[in-house]
Structure 1
């Protein structure tokens, strides 16, 4: 019998704590699917989720991040049309000048009132959950 398992991924919501109103970093993807996304990517074999989050943040934004907490897991089988993935979303903080690199063709700093479009994958839902948490202290439910 052949087993097919979802691929583990990480997404990192990076708050720029040295900027007014503490914006977050989003990248514009170089590869399909095109659009804006939370920095992140696939976990390498033998790599912890935390190390994958730090690596992906560095590769895509050039930032050394401090992981603050694990925010939530997102596992809808349709969240990524390329394959079934499960994402561990981390909250992180950084200072400095982010720059688009690796899979990112562009990068921007955004607040809740100015999200870019289109957003890839299920990142609209993730960011809606994040801003609800950030502004009102309400974490996403498990439903």
Structure 2
């Protein structure tokens, strides 16, 4: 997201197609608001990526079939339940079990730095600033 913002600030006319593994509606919507011209998932076919390139080059916006379906579905479902990504919910579960950052990193095969980033994002998204507040939020919202 910050890369898109930086590129658009330098050259607002540049065409950007996002190739991402993220298909959560709140994340996709956030990126689309930055003015990207296409959004394709890494799991999509090479043909779909080529179609995105040709569409954007032709002046159109392109969203992969899965992203289109997800966005239409999100019109009928509130985003509150999807406040956190699946990875963030996974980390929240482990935090609630009193895992340390190191324990979480080992359990999920990611770096401690990545865990720290996820924790910061979880606190920001839940508008909490302590573990106690986070756990209260998680219980109140049936996240754990």
Q: Is TM-score (shorter-chain normalized) higher than 0.5?
A: no
Structure with greater helix percent: 2
Q: How high is the TM-score relative to the length of structure 1?
A: 0.20
- Select the structure with the greater relative contact order (CA < 8 A; seq sep ≥ 6): 1
